[in-house]
Each structure stands twice: as structure tokens, then as C-alpha cells.
Amino acid sequence: MSPEAGMTAVAEPSAVAEMGERPAVKRARRQWGLTDVLAMSWLALLVFGMLFLPTLLNIDADTMSPADRLTGPSAHHWLGTDNYGRDLLARALAGARISLWIGFGSVAASALVGVPIGMLAGYLGGWLDRITSFVVDVVLAFPGLVLALALASFLGQSITNVMIAIAVPMCPVFVRLAKAQTLSVARREYVEASQVIGTPARSILRRDVLPNITEAMLAFALVSVGHAILIEGGLSFLGMGMPPTVTSWGGMINYGRGFISSNPALIAVPSAFMLLTILSLNLLADRFLGGRAGNTGGGR
Amino acid sequence: MTRETTRETTRKTTRKTTRKTTRKTTRKTTRNWRLARLFLLRLLRLAAVLFVVSVLCFLSLNLLPGDPARTILGVAGSSPEAVRSLRHELGLDQPLLSRFFTWLGHALTGDLGRSYVSGQPVSEIIAQRAPVTLELILISQLIALVCAIPSAVVAAAKRGSLVDRGISLWVFGVLSTPSFVIGFILIYVFAVRLGIYPASGYNSLSTGLGNHLGSLLLPALSLAAAPFALYQRVLRADLVETYGQEFMSVARAKGISPARAAVRHAMRPSMLGLTTSVGVTVGTLIGADVIVESLFSLPGLGAELAHAVSGRDYVAVQGIVLVITIAFVLVNAFVDLLYGVIDPRLGASSSTAGVKERVA
């Protein structure tokens, strides 16, 4: 009975065979599976649609046309229209722009702040470590969405404030993860060798530690983008996310609540976009993680 | 065997590095002493975290742009006298430090101020609303665990099989679905299409147990989805690792049936990740609860928070966030204590942090 280390790929038969004798130490590079390709295609399609489809189809997120209210799919309106005659596809694509911007923006912000702090805390230890881990404990003491909700309400509604509200609860998780990864790398022989010959800590961190934790951090960042999109959706759904003038998936879903029995497409379209995007991001992150245990989609 | 020894050595080295200063003393003191000291340290840390959390909650009112009293009253009620009396009630005419201690004193005696929308004391609102939320969270955790444990056991025992991959794919999909989307799907299927369930609303216990639990079923299901997926993944991964260890092969070689081996031998060493995620998940669950309660219009704490946030009822927001956060911190502290019970090998070592990181 050969031991497997944790989660293998989702629906990927080749992965099981490829996991070697000591998968925890050395992970085999996986082939691109069907799910990975599907995930990549969805994201590529989304970006392409976001950039070009509105002009190609001559549709606009905000143009109302009372003549065709609540129509089903047609040649001009591929996914139908809402009760003001606004094109649902165009609105979902406009929402994609906001969601991806919020998702990648808030994750980039919290990673840029969190990863260096975590690396320093892990490598130097001592007081710096104690202080950061206390701050991390305090921020993580607040349930994520509750903190985001409170921040959004106290800061007021704007795209930047929503990003802050999402990034603040996310940042300490990056600190923790970067610290844990740094701790494990810092004990390896080449780092010790570097220390012995007197390399300054700054270049050890940049040249030896950072490249070795990048993969794990990237995988976590991808999951976090999905998570940020989810939180943005939740905030907008509660009416505390974007200002009402900005089209977002959560806002569209919230708006569609009144039409659930008469016209469920108003909810289904933005929900499907959100779901497929988060699913794709999670699948790609899982690929990055390879055989590592169930890290993806962590609770926060 | 080798894995065990490497784990031992790494644990030793962490201990050495983290407690460099106290190395000499710890060597001399007995294990019990160290345990007591660690427990005390943890308690102190917990108190410190709670204190800082309350400071932040207190300061949150100061985050408001301009004069909090004026912002709270809004444009409509901002006659000079009203602003002055509210400033006095909030203590804004006093210095920050004395204000904080007055506030903390009041909060400790259960007085969290008054809502400016309904005029009700915040602590009264919380006391009314909390039971619904607690019940909802308990039911959903129960559903999640009841579904996750068997499916993880089956998936781990038949790892790599079609069943395992099917469950994994399903779990992955659920993990990527926002709770409100699941809620909408449930409402659409059960209320709109089948018509066997009211779309929203809440029946209190006085209308009968069946009615009461019935009105909580769909919300609990939509809340349970994400934790179910997470638990299944974590437990499956841990079980697979346990299956790879030698004592499992020994158990099978002795002739113990696969089912008995799974339940009696594999479960307990694999519970650690699951326990951690249960603690961590409570936080996510509270967040999802805010959304699900407003979706199903349940009179719980989460819906009240959403209501207070959109109504700019800042004092209520402050009080509810404080209470929710303290509850969450205490739950996690309790889970920390449970580690020692589940896995005595961990004892007082600092390696629980590692488990936590993996899950979070």
C-alpha cells in the first residue's frame, strides 16, 4: 500500500499514478488535465468577453430599452434582458470587470503587505515575530465578513473602500502563511550555508527564501482572489458593497431577488458567472498546490 | 517509522528556537509546571486579544468621517440640541481615555448603548436575536459533520476510485459556490418550483417543533454547504495520510475488517485537522450567516447586523460586532483546549499552530 499525500487532483486520473513514493518531499509535475484547461478557457473567455463583446454585439450595461423588458435569450441579447430592458450579458461582463479588479486588487494589496512581514517575522523571529503574531491574532479574531461589513459601513461605499474592507481581514492570513513557509525554508542546508558565508539577511530572503515560497503563495493568492470575489458579492448582496451606480455581480443578484419566481434568469446569470469564475480560480490553485493536503478554499 | 522520528526532531528544533531564552529553566522544571505555565500564557494572550478587540470596537465610532454624533443623527435630526445631547450621551464631550473606560465599564456590565433607530438597548436586541443564530449555526454544523464524515471515510478508503473522484468534484463545486447562491437554488427548487416550502419567514418554537425546525431547514442547508465541503476535504486528506502509516497495515494484516480499521484505527489520529477547521469555520459561518439570515428573513443576529449596517445604526453595529467577535474568540480558545484531548501526543507543544496554518 503506497502512501499518497493528501488530496490528489480533482477528477484527474493521471495524478494518482504520478504521485511517487515520497510525494510530500518531491511533487511530480502534473500534466494539464481537462479541468485545468476548462478553468483556463473560462477565465480567458471572460477576459475576452469583458474587453470585446460589448462593442462586437453593440450592447451596453446601462442602456435601457422599455420595448424589450424581461425578454429571453435572442440573437441580439444572448442571455436576455432585465426589467428595464438592459442586456444581462453586458451587465454580467461589466460586473466581471468590477469583480476581477476587486479580487486581484485586494489580494495584491494584502499579499504585498503580508508576505514581506511574514517572511521577516519567520526569518528574524524574536520580538518582531511576537508583535506580528499578536496583531495577526487580533485581526483574525474578527470573523472575516463581519469585519469587512463593519469596515465597509464605517468607511462608506466606494470601490477603494470595499477593497480595503476585503484586504484587511485577508492580510493576516498571508502573514501567517508566509511565516510558516519561511520557517520551513530557513532550516534548509543551502540557507544555512548562505548564513555561514555571511550573506546579509536581506539577500538571503530575496534570493533563497522568496523563490522557494512563491509557488505556495501564488496558489494561496489564487484561492484568495476567488474568496475576495465571494466577499465582494456578499457585501454587494447586502447592499453594502459597491455604490448603486456600479454594476457588480452581487448587486445584480440582490436586484434580482424580487424576480425569483417570475424571472430567475436575473439571479441565475450573475450567479453562474460568479460561480464559474471562483471555481476556475480554485481549480487552478489546486493545480499549483499539486499533491499538498486540502489547502484550497480555506475557510476565511 | 522514519516519518515519526523526523516529526519528533522537527518538533524539538522548533521548541529550541522558539524558547531559546527559557531553555535552561524548562529543562529543570517538570512537565506539569510547563503545562501550567503554557496554559497561563495562553490565558493571558486570550485576555490581551479580547482587550485589543474591545479597544478597536470602541474606536470604530471614531472612524466615522467628521462628528460621529452628527453622522449618526443624519441630516434629518441634526438640530443643535439633538447633536449636543447625543454627544453627551455618547460621552463625546469627554476626553478619549475616560470615555473608553466608561464604555468598557458599561460593556462589562452588559450595557452596550442604545440603538438610534429603534431606541432599544443593544444588549436587549442581542439577547433576543442570538438564540435563532445559535440554533441555526448548531444545526448547520451538525448537518455538515453528518454528511462530511461518512463521505470522507468512503472517499479515503476507496481513494482514487470513481466514487472518490466524484465526491471530490462535487465537494469542489460546493466549495466554490457562495452561500447565497445555494440559498437561491434551494428557494427556487423548493419554494418556487415544488411549492412545498415557504420562501422565507420564521416560525418560533411556540408554533410547534416541526414548524420551527422546518423554517430553519433551508437556511441551515445553505449554511452547511461550505463547511461540509471543507470538512470532507480536510478529513479525507488526513485519513489518507493515516492510511499510509504502518499501524494501519498492521491492523489490516491482523485481519481486521476494512470498516473496523477505518472507524477504530484511522479515525482518531485523523481528527486533528477536522477539529481545527470546525473552530476556524465558526468564523466563516458567522459571516455566511449574516447573508443567509437576510436572504431567508430570519430574526437572527446576522440579519440584525446587516440591518444595523444598512440603517447606519453604528452603536448597534459596534455592540453586535463586539459580541460576535468575543464569542468567536472563545470558541477558538475552546477548540485549542480540545487538541490535547484528541491527540495527547501534542500535549503542550507549539505544533498546533502548524495545523492551524494548514487549515486556514
Question: What are the pLDDT digits (tens) for B22-46?
Answer: 555 545 557 778 778 878 888 888 8
Type of residue numbered B352: T
Q: What is the pLDDT of residues B97-125, one digit of tens each?
A: 888 888 888 888 888 888 877 778 889 99
Tell me which residue in B48, B169, B360 faces A299 most closely, judged by beta carbons: B360
**What is the CATH number for A136?**
1.10.3720.10
Q: Does B176 touch chain A (CB under 8 A)?
A: yes
**Predicted pLDDT at B348:** 43
Which of B60, B75, B108 is the C-terminal boundary of a domain? B108
List of chain B residues whose C-beta atoms are within 8 Å of the C-beta of residue A142: 53, 321, 325, 328
pTM over 0.80: no
Is B19 found in the same domain as B86?
A: yes
Q: Kindly state whether residues B158 and B235 are assigned to the same domain.
A: yes
Q: What is the pLDDT of residues A3-54, one digit of tens each?
A: 333 333 333 333 333 333 334 434 445 566 787 888 899 999 999 888 887 7
Mapped to the 3 state alphabet, what secondary structure does chain B carry? CHHHHHHHHHHHHHHHHHCCCCHHHHHHCCHHHHHHHHHHHHHHHHHHHHHHHHHHHHHHHHHCCCCHHHHHHCCCCCCHHHHHHHHHHHCCCCCHHHHHHHHHHHHHCCCCCECCCCCCEHHHHHHHHHHHHHHHHHHHHHHHHHHHHHHHHHHHHCCCCHHHHHHHHHHHHHHCCCHHHHHHHHHHHHHHHCCCCCCCCCCCHHHCHHHHHHHHHHHHHHHHHHHHHHHHHHHHHHHHHHHCCHHHHHHHHCCCCHHHHHHHHHCHHHHHHHHHHHHHHHHHHHHHHHHHHHHCCCCCHHHHHHHHHHCCCHHHHHHHHHHHHHHHHHHHHHHHHHHHHHCCCCCCCCCHHHHHHHHC
Confidence of residue B75 (pLDDT cuts 50, 70, 90): low
Nearest Cα of chain A lies from the Cα of B71 at a distance, in angstroms, of: 10
Same domain, yes or no, for B38 and B148? Answer: no
Least confident interval from B262-271, B301-310, B342-351: B342-351
Q: What is the model's pLDDT at position A299?
A: 33
Interchain contact, B169 vs A295, CB within 8 Å? no
Question: Which residue, of B73, B108, B143, is where some domain finishes?
Answer: B108
Q: Is the pLDDT score of A143 beyond 90?
A: no
For residue A56, give how far its alpha carbon lies from the nearest alpha carbon of chain B (Å): 30
How far apart CA B210 and CA B203 sit, in angstroms, is 9
- Which residue in B49, B292, B309 has the most chain A C-beta atoms within 10 A of its own C-beta, making it the best mutation to test that interface? B309
Q: Of B108, B136, B169, which residue constitutes the final position of a domain? A: B108
Range of A116's domain? 90-291
Confirm whether B118 is domain-assigned. Answer: no
pLDDT in tens, B174-193: 888 888 889 888 888 888 88
- Provide the CA A195 distance to its chain's centre, in angstroms: 36
Q: What is the pLDDT of residues B165-175, one digit of tens each?
A: 889 888 888 88
Q: For B284, which of A138, A176, A299 is closest by C-beta distance? A: A299
Please state which of the ranges A6-20, B72-86, B249-263 shows the lowest mean pLDDT. A6-20
Sign of the dihedral through C-alpha B205, B209, B210, B214 = positive
Q: Is residue A105 part of a domain?
A: yes
Q: Are residues B32 and B57 in the same domain?
A: yes
Domain assignment of residue A300, yes or no:
no
Closest Cβ opposite residue A8 in set B18, B45, B160 = B160
Number of domains in chain A: 1
Please answer yes or no on whether A234 and B178 come within 8 Å at the CB atom. yes
**What percent of chain B has pLDDT above 90?**
11
Burial of A198 (0-12, 13-18, 19+ CB in 10 A): exposed
Question: For residue A74, which phi and psi values (nearest 5 degrees)?
Answer: -145, 180
Domain coverage including residue B152: 125-359
- Chain A residues touching residue B314 (CB < 8 angstroms): 153-154
**Statement to judge: residues B78 and B190 lie in one domain:** no
Distance CA A295, CA A224 (A): 12
For residue A138, the Cα-to-chain-centroid distance in whole angstroms is 23
ipTM, 2 dp = 0.76
Q: What was the pLDDT predicted at A149?
A: 86
> Is A141 contained in some domain?
yes
Query: Quick one: closest CA in A to B191, which residue?
Result: A261
Q: Which residues contact A269 (CB under 8 A, 6 or more apart)?
A: A79, A80, A88, A89, A91, A92, A252
Rounded distance between C-alpha atoms, residue A162 and residue A150, angstroms? 11
Give mean pLDDT, residues B61-69: 68
Total count of domains within chain B: 2
Q: Is A63 inside any structural domain?
A: no
B339 phi, psi to nearest 5 deg: -50, -50
Q: Are B323 and B124 in contact (CB under 8 A)?
A: no
Residues in chain B closer than 8 A to A283 (CB atoms): 172
The mean pLDDT value for B259-270 works out to 77
CA–CA gap between residue A266 and residue A70 (Å, rounded)? 9
CATH number for the domain spanning B166: value is: 1.10.3720.10
Tens digit of pLDDT for each residue in A148-196? 888 888 887 888 989 999 999 999 999 999 998 888 888 888 888 888 8
Contacts of A234 in chain B (CB under 8 A): 178, 180, 287-288, 290-291
Residues in chain B closer than 8 A to A260 (CB atoms) = 184, 187-188, 192, 199
Q: Which residues of A230-253 are buried (b: 16+ CB within 10 A; e: fewer)?
A: bbbbbbbbbbbbbeeebbbbbbbb
